[in-house]
Structure 1
Amino acid sequence: MLPSLPDHALTELGRTGGSPETLALLARDQDTRRLLVLRAVLDGATASPACSPGARQRLREDWALLEEAEAARTGPRGRAPSTAGPSGPAVRTGLLQPLLGSWAQRVLHTLEAADGDPRGQRDLAAGLDHFGAVTAAIAARAGTPFAVRLTAHAGTLVLPSVGALHTDDPGPTPVDTVCRGGRLTLRRPGAADVVVHLEDGVGAWSGSRAWTSAYALPGLLPGTGPVPLDDLDPYRTVHGGPHYYGLSGPVTLDDAARKHWLQAWTGTATALRLGGEGRLTEAAALLRCLVPLAAPPGQSPDGRSHGACSATRPEAFGAVLSSTPPNATAFATTLVHELQHAKLAVLGMMVTLHHSDGRARYFAPWRPEPRPYEGLLQGAYAHLALADYFQRRALGEADAARRDEAWGRFAGYHAKVTAALPALVGSDDLTPRGRQFVEVMVDTHERMAAITVPRAHVVRAREYVRAARRLWVQRHAVDVRRSRE
């Protein structure tokens, strides 16, 4: 059963915060939905005419391997699959990894479109083959011995949380995989065996150049698990390329790039804490995976890209996609921003906040084009959290230059939210709980405004919003009027 959201949790979230109990509630909702979606994939593939008898049999065998791995840790073997599938601690971590949600969404979409479509059937076959690799990785982590045949596609076989085997064949390539005693042996036609030694947490080492180990960053807090930096999973970005404004594509990291990520990550916990202990607690509770992206298009005169981009995906709860962070403060800012999107996406699944028709007609000073109501709400919520973060940094900063910089960032974010709130509050599309949520946002915004800010920053921020609004009206006022007619 999906959990319900009490009013006090809605209020906490409206303030852009969340107690450990509220954050755990969001995670529990998403975990339950994930298990239900995975069961829907199993049932859909079993019933789909686009799924071959061999593929259906293989999927049942994969599911049975999960059951075996679970039973080895929790009790007797031979149980029938539960309604939602295996869910105990031995298997749960693997099934709840964020990017498996992206895989499930893609497969469900492919199941709907694959019947009679050769390309769709190939995509479906590749998707179901990937689930075999997922189950093998989970069973290996659980210490369950097995011998299975996996399939590499596009020259790579990815075992999530373990690593990737690179082949020379771009087509489907069978890979016989044996797991014994914490060691994987990968055998493919015409090539030497690759022996992989599992490591605790994330990653596995091998002496073969055909193998790339999965990589992870240390936990944000003492005692917390590592955070995967996943540059291998084939489902880490949207199928067909980025579908987000200003978002670049995925990137595979070399050793130097991984070290750069680690360097920025090492100071991120401290940078988060400077904006309030709750920001660090929130990140430690919700962040499950980082997906590196290439720098966005566009270069400075020196020929180097200085831009940045980041995103979350509702179907991949716990994952943050980001280009390489320049430093810890920028990394912390990205996490604060993106985790608000993640929280609000979950809240929108648990509670109906509005009944907007989705037409893009609202001014948002952080985007050049009109936004739909949901987009305006998402942006205002993330900017409100960033205003809170930088105000707390400014109030606690002893160094005058850094304090002044933090006040400038606060003023900019706060002014942008000021411009968005009237449209949010004035909408007739809000539900009662949606109005409660937005009114808490307003109250939070007003409380921030009660603290004195250096006037020069306030003036610059307000003038920026005015200029953005004038330009927006020149470009879009006619189109917006037409959309309302």
Structure 2
Amino acid sequence: MVDSDPGFQRHRLIVDHFTAFAAGDAGAEAIDALLAAERSHRMLMLYALLRSARERPGATGRLPSVDHAWTLLVRSHQQAPEAVESLLLTPQVGRWCAHVLRRLHGAAPATPAPLWAEVGYLHALAAAAATLAGLDFHMSIPVYGELAVLPSLGGASMPPRGKTLWGIARARRAAGPTTVRVDAHVVELPPNPRDDAPGWQSVRRLRAQARARSIDIAFDDLDPYRALQVPTLAQRCPPAAVDRWRELFDEAWSLLNEEQPAAAETLARGLKEIVPVYQGERFRVYSASGADAFGSALASQPGTASELAVTLIHEFQHIKLNGLQRLVDLCDGDAGPEPLYAPWRDDPRPAKGLLQGVYAFSGVTCFWRERRTRLSGPEADLAQYEFALWRRQTLSALRILQERPELTDYGRHLVDTLSQRLASWQTEPVPANVLSAAEAAAVDHRISWRLWHLRPDRELVAELARAWSRGQAVPLPLTSVEQSRVVSDPRAQWLDTRAVLARLQLVDPVEFRRLRADPNPGQQVSGAVPADLDYVSGDLEEAGERYEAALVERPDSPPHLAGLAMCLHGTGDSDHILLHRPELVRAVRQAILSEAGKTPSVRELALWLGPALRPDAG
């Protein structure tokens, strides 16, 4: 680390490492190569931010200049290089640096934070580095809400300022502990700033050890740059929630070291933190990561150690691929003509996003493939279900990607390698009832996605609506019609509702029966209606009647149309138009409603359209 010019170092990924990443088998050395590249990238971003802030008048407001903060950071690095290197590689520093660079160049999303406060994170970073290095210093730093954060260490509680979110505190160390002060209010950091003290909230840690392999990561609920949307107010987890996180983390670490030792080794090397977010639902753990914050995983608290273990694998796959793309272009910059179907998302995705998904879910599938062999009873059924579902969905998405021109030669090699791996798992035996449920979930998601996001040709729809209203036959063979086009609908959500219910029935039939008796199941499983419970129970007649009744009240409801289609799928009517072109039935039905003021029965309209449409059309 130097005062003015970061220097340049070329990073190359050796062939063996890329081959290992493509196969999902990257080891510790390959992760170290990503970390080395990330370190260089981080230093270049810091240097670019320093130069850009120098050129922006008033960028630091009433704070000292960026050069003042930078000088302290350099001094700290000279005194304690390992500690400061570790600080600079924390995910929040990457996320902050990328965000503020975009803001300085007019490319960041709108934020209520004043520029000086965002640039001033550099000052807080310097104060944290000096504290770690044991240097005497004084530095003005931003206060956000009622917390003055020293990155990676914690935050000092400051007095409220009324409606003003942003303020300034003074951090200081003079032959003693670091203090943070606003006027007469002083918070003294403890001798070890990673401990709590009066007025000081430390960044908590998650630590675990199994089979002589340990892991120690941050559990950050304080830093303003911990989340994907920045900046974010601190939201301290209650002690009971932290205890539960630690319990789950310890169990998940033991599980991974027992069943996925190679994955555990790389996680210990490259995972830096978990950022807790809102509580998710059962079987719906929320998790996310971003390219700017290598090593960070946002996650809602899962219900079981298995859910946490698979969440860590899922997000670390994203982290690895983001790091890999620092070194190798996998997709061209230009997006394709339209977004693509992702079998695990409510929304359409570009090729780059779908590539991220297949890489993550290849790891998920591998996890469940191994996990299912070590369980018995309902838990084994659930693991078999997850394996059967994700091997199918991941290979389906890989097949889509293989047709995409956006992939580079490296990207194509990665996709082809993963495709071969996933294809080899497709014939592995899974209990028949579980396999049937997983295959139905895959069909259900595809139908639901088509209903939300595909739009047939408008002229065709209008012509069909007129023919129906006049009592005529279908005016042309629909097989000659081009495919529907993708028009992303932001209202789409809960496309996995019936799949969640299927999981519940497998692993907790008593709770499933209780939920089936509940007239408002959506309060527990978002998106669920009583007809969904009937469908998953196998009562297709009752479910179909309920879906159709709902479609009288809500003619344009994709969830109910998809449910009715799945009832037909359950009866073995695989040629039905609702299974292959549900968006056409929906669009024509809506056009008839607009023209005639009333809607036909879904079954009647589907029977009228069906004979003119081959099952594989569109």
Shorter-chain-normalised TM-score: which range? 0.7 to 0.9
**Quick one: which amino acid aligns to residue 257 of structure 2?**
R
Partner of 2:386: 409
Partner of 1:195: 188
Q: Please, which of 69, 90, 94 is the counterpart of residue 76 of structure 2?
A: 69
Q: CA, structure 1 residues 130+112, in 2 after alignment: closer, same or farther (shift >3 Å)?
A: same
Q: Please, which of 187, 194, 205 is the counterpart of residue 196 of structure 2?
A: 205
Per the TM alignment, residue 146 of structure 1 is displaced from its structure 2 partner at its CA by 2.0
Take 2:53 and 2:301, find their aligned partners in 1: how far apart are those partners?
37
Q: What fraction of aligned residue pairs are identical, expressed as a percent?
A: 26
Q: CA, structure 1 residues 121+468, in 2 after alignment: closer, same or farther (shift >3 Å)?
A: closer
SS at 1:326's partner residue?
coil
Take 1:443 and 1:26, find their aligned partners in 2: how far apart are those partners?
25
C-alpha contact 1:166 1:211 (8 A) present in aligned 2: yes
Per the TM alignment, residue 336 of structure 1 is displaced from its structure 2 partner at its CA by 0.8
C-alpha contact 1:140 1:179 (8 A) present in aligned 2: yes
1:423 aligns with 2:400: yes
Take 2:202 and 2:372, find their aligned partners in 1: how far apart are those partners?
41
Per the TM alignment, residue 52 of structure 1 is displaced from its structure 2 partner at its CA by 5.4
Within a 5 Å distance, the mapping from 1:231-270 to structure 2 comes to 231-239=221-229, 251-270=235-254
Within a 5 Å distance, the mapping from 1:265-344 to structure 2 comes to 265-296=249-280, 307-344=284-321
Partner of 1:215: 204
Per the TM alignment, residue 462 of structure 1 is displaced from its structure 2 partner at its CA by 2.0
Take 1:258 and 1:444, find their aligned partners in 2: how far apart are those partners?
38
Partner of 2:149: 158
Partner of 1:81: none
Per the TM alignment, residue 40 of structure 1 is displaced from its structure 2 partner at its CA by 0.8
Q: Please, which of 88, 110, 134 is the counterpart of residue 143 of structure 1?
A: 134
Take 2:267 and 2:239, find their aligned partners in 1: how far apart are those partners?
25
Q: CA, structure 1 residues 269+360, in 2 after alignment: closer, same or farther (shift >3 Å)?
A: farther
C-alpha contact 1:341 1:382 (8 A) present in aligned 2: yes
C-alpha contact 2:91 2:295 (8 A) present in aligned 1: yes
Per the TM alignment, residue 121 of structure 1 is displaced from its structure 2 partner at its CA by 10
**Quick one: which amino acid aligns to residue 53 of structure 2?**
A
Q: Please, which of 369, 382, 386 is the counterpart of residue 347 of structure 2?
A: 369
Q: CA, structure 1 residues 375+71, in 2 after alignment: closer, same or farther (shift >3 Å)?
A: closer
1:25 aligns with 2:33: yes
Q: Please, which of 16, 20, 23 is the counterpart of residue 12 of structure 1?
A: 20
C-alpha contact 1:158 1:165 (8 A) present in aligned 2: yes
C-alpha contact 1:363 1:370 (8 A) present in aligned 2: yes
Take 1:20 and 1:339, find their aligned partners in 2: how far apart are those partners?
13
C-alpha contact 1:411 1:453 (8 A) present in aligned 2: yes
Partner of 1:79: none
**Quick one: which amino acid aligns to residue 55 of structure 2?**
A
Per the TM alignment, residue 98 of structure 1 is displaced from its structure 2 partner at its CA by 0.6
Per the TM alignment, residue 314 of structure 1 is displaced from its structure 2 partner at its CA by 0.9
C-alpha contact 1:377 1:424 (8 A) present in aligned 2: yes
Take 1:449 and 1:483, find their aligned partners in 2: how far apart are those partners?
29
C-alpha contact 1:251 1:294 (8 A) present in aligned 2: no
Take 1:156 and 1:105, find their aligned partners in 2: how far apart are those partners?
23
Q: CA, structure 1 residues 275+159, in 2 after alignment: closer, same or farther (shift >3 Å)?
A: same
Based on CA coordinates, which of the two structures has the bigger radius of gyration?
2
1:445 aligns with 2:408: no
Take 2:213 and 2:126, find their aligned partners in 1: how far apart are those partners?
27
Q: Please, which of 380, 394, 400 is the counterpart of residue 358 of structure 2?
A: 380
Per the TM alignment, residue 442 of structure 1 is displaced from its structure 2 partner at its CA by 0.9
Partner of 1:226: 216
Take 2:420 and 2:237, find their aligned partners in 1: how far apart are those partners?
43
Q: Which has the higher contact order (CA 8 A, sep 6+)?
A: 1
Per the TM alignment, residue 197 of structure 1 is displaced from its structure 2 partner at its CA by 1.2
Within a 5 Å distance, the mapping from 1:455-474 to structure 2 comes to 455-474=432-451
* Count of aligned positions: 447
SS at 1:267's partner residue?
helix
Take 2:308 and 2:187, find their aligned partners in 1: how far apart are those partners?
36
Take 2:69 and 2:230, find their aligned partners in 1: how far apart are those partners?
27
Q: With the length of structure 1 as denominator, give the TM-score of the two structures.
A: 0.84
Take 1:411 and 1:400, find their aligned partners in 2: how far apart are those partners?
17
Take 2:213 and 2:67, find their aligned partners in 1: how far apart are those partners?
36
Of residues 18-27 and 64-73 in structure 1, the stretch that sits farther from structure 2 once superposed is 64-73
SS at 1:204's partner residue?
coil
Take 2:291 and 2:339, find their aligned partners in 1: how far apart are those partners?
23
SS at 2:65's partner residue?
helix
Take 1:21 and 1:453, find their aligned partners in 2: how far apart are those partners?
35
Take 2:250 and 2:408, find their aligned partners in 1: how far apart are those partners?
42
C-alpha contact 2:386 2:438 (8 A) present in aligned 1: no
**Quick one: which amino acid aligns to residue 263 of structure 2?**
R
CA RMSD of the aligned region, Å?
2.8
1:129 aligns with 2:120: yes
**Quick one: which amino acid aligns to residue 161 of structure 1?**
S
Per the TM alignment, residue 482 of structure 1 is displaced from its structure 2 partner at its CA by 4.0
Take 2:447 and 2:169, find their aligned partners in 1: how far apart are those partners?
60
Q: CA, structure 1 residues 250+340, in 2 after alignment: closer, same or farther (shift >3 Å)?
A: farther
Take 1:454 and 1:436, find their aligned partners in 2: how far apart are those partners?
33
**Quick one: which amino acid aligns to residue 211 of structure 1?**
W
